Amino acid sequence: MQNLYYEVGSLDKRCYEKFSLTEDLLMEHAASNIQEEIEKRFKKGSSVLIVCGSGNNGADGIALARLLYKKYEVKLYIAFELKSKMAKLQLQRAELLGLKTVDELSSCDVVVDCLFGTGLNKDLDRVSQELIENLNGFDSFKIACDIPSGINPKGEITTTAFFADLTVTMGALKQALYSDMAKDYIGEVKVANLGVQREVYEIQTNVFLLDKGDLKLPLRDKKDAHKGSFGHLNVIAGCKKGAGVIAAKAAFGFGAGLVSVICHDNIDLPYHIMQTHKLAQNCTAIAIGMGLGLYDEKEIKEILNTNLPMIIDADLFHENITLNILEKEVVLTPHPKEFCSLLKLCNLADIKVEELQRDRFFYVKEFCKKYPKVVLLLKGANVLIAQKDKIYVNPLGSAVLSKGGSGDVLSGLVGALLAQGYSAIDAAIHASLAHTIAASNYKKNNYSLIPSDLIEEVKKL
């Protein structure tokens, strides 16, 4: 798990004040980290186009040009009149070496984007957009300095952005790199050490980036065990019964000792999954909402009123009945449209999906401020999992999962972990990790996954 920051300007400032490091020194490290990445990948003499803007992102680029000069064929392109004091100083240093700037863009082995970094404070004008689109058209290895130009501090892309193969980000990971919109643009992400180790540079944060190593599987280490030791999940199947059946199968494959589906019609279930008409006496967790459709209000109210661990999904995000349980530690797993509906039900916001996607972190924080016990898992290209003031970002998802039924598998996985005694936040985190890692292990064409494939991959984690 790594720390994420909305802004790092204050961390840079802390370096100057607390460790007596200068801006110049930090910038030298920023540039030399990109130099290292280029030297690892490209042999001497390769051509490197460095495109610089007017601020300190541009200054990083000019410093990089100086570091590469003579070993590589450096083409330094200054796109705008330099404004920052450091950019002017870096250009002076480069010119003293004899390094000349170029007036035209031409395709090179490497393109380094140093147009805008964390200082992007307005929409790109036409000139900047065309410049970025031009660079995107080059068949070069593309490196973004700090953040691909065009992504603003919220992670929003209002017009266009640089398509990086590699982003070398300075000092610490920025939250903006992990918005859904940024996902296609950042490429591989490396953090540059700016003169002190990350442990020293970074301060306490409430936003975290999950990685594969964080996954805790429900492995059974106890030898003296029986099926009751691993809980009993009750899945409430609604009108679209298939959703409940998929969730039940996923839960069984992810370690729940017993799984029952509550359904009033006869359904086709594998022999190891039971069908009942009411909650089992020994039920340890409930999964409800997927495929619910029309329902008997009294029955659903009774189920929601139990104090058992619960995962709530899909149709219930459109129902007032859900408001009654938001003071409890339940797991909610909405996709963006369902979350918009929930925000409206809670009187928090009346927004469209596009607005939510522009500022997912903000709306998740607002919701969790109002309902601090709830664990919210907001689906998306990067899943956000939040409780109270903490947000965990799972960036491991991929388009393989963009299929009907994937969400029902996730509900089953969360339910399985709740049934086995995981806390609500741990169940959401580890189910989401298992779900996304399983999908990334799927070897067939990325359009072909069906829920049973996903469950098979979960079994092999």
Which of 33, 34, 48, 57 lies at the binding interface for ligand NPW (CB under 6 A)? 57
Contact 420, 407 (CB under 8 A): no
Does 28 bind K ion (CB under 5 A)? Our answer is no
By the 8 A CB rule, do 167 and 190 touch? yes
With CB under 6 A, what is the number of residues at the site for ligand NPW?
Answer: 29
Closest Cα partner for 114 from 146, 84, 137? Answer: 146
Q: Residue 26, interface with ligand NPW (CB under 6 A)?
A: yes
CB of 209 to ligand NPW, least distance (A): 19
Query: Looking at 21-29, 324-332, 369-377, 436-444, which segment touches ligand NPW (CB under 6 A)?
Result: 21-29
Cα dist. 366→5, 165, 356 in Å?
18, 33, 12
Of 190, 153, 142, 186, which is closest to residue 170 (Cα–Cα)?
A: 190
Q: How many CB atoms lie within 10 A of CB 296?
A: 9
Instruction: Give Cβ neighbours of residue 122 (< 8 Å, ≥ 6 apart).
Output: none
**Which residues, 143 to 202, sit near K ion by CB under 5 A?**
144-145, 149
237: exposed, middle or buried (Cβ count in 10 Å: 0-12, 13-18, 19+): buried
Q: How far is the CB of 68 from ligand NPW (least distance, A)?
A: 16
In 3D space, the residue among 434, 342, 425, 355 whose CA is nearest the CA of residue 387 turns out to be: 425
Of 51 and 243, which CB lies nearer to K ion in the complex structure? 51
146 is an interface residue for ligand NPW by CB under 6 A: yes
Query: Could you say which of 20, 121, 204, 347 contacts ligand NPW (CB under 6 A)?
Result: 121
**9: which 2 tokens?**
């300007």
Subset of 99-128 contacting K ion (CB under 5 A):
113
Q: Is 113 annotated as a binding residue?
A: yes
117 annotated as belonging to a binding site for a ligand: yes
Q: Is 299 in the site for ligand NPW (CB under 6 A)?
A: no
Q: Which is nearer to K ion, 170 or 247 (CB)?
A: 170
User: In angstroms, what is the minimal distance from the CB of 124 to ligand NPW?
Assistant: 5
Closest CA to 416 of 249, 242, 255, 289: 255
**C-beta of 12 vs 457, nearer to ligand NPW:** 12
The radius of gyration computed from the CA coordinates of the chain, to the nearest angstrom, equals: 25
Is 441 a binder of ligand NPW (CB under 6 A)? no
Q: How far is 50 from 142, CA to CA, in rounded Å? A: 10
For residue 341, which amino acid is it?
Answer: S
Residues that bind ligand NPW (CB under 6 A): 12, 23, 26-27, 30, 53-58, 60, 83-84, 116-125, 128, 145-146, 170, 194
Known binding-site residues for K(+) equal 57, 113, 149
Known binding-site residues equal 56-60, 113, 117-123, 146, 149, 243, 291, 335, 407-408
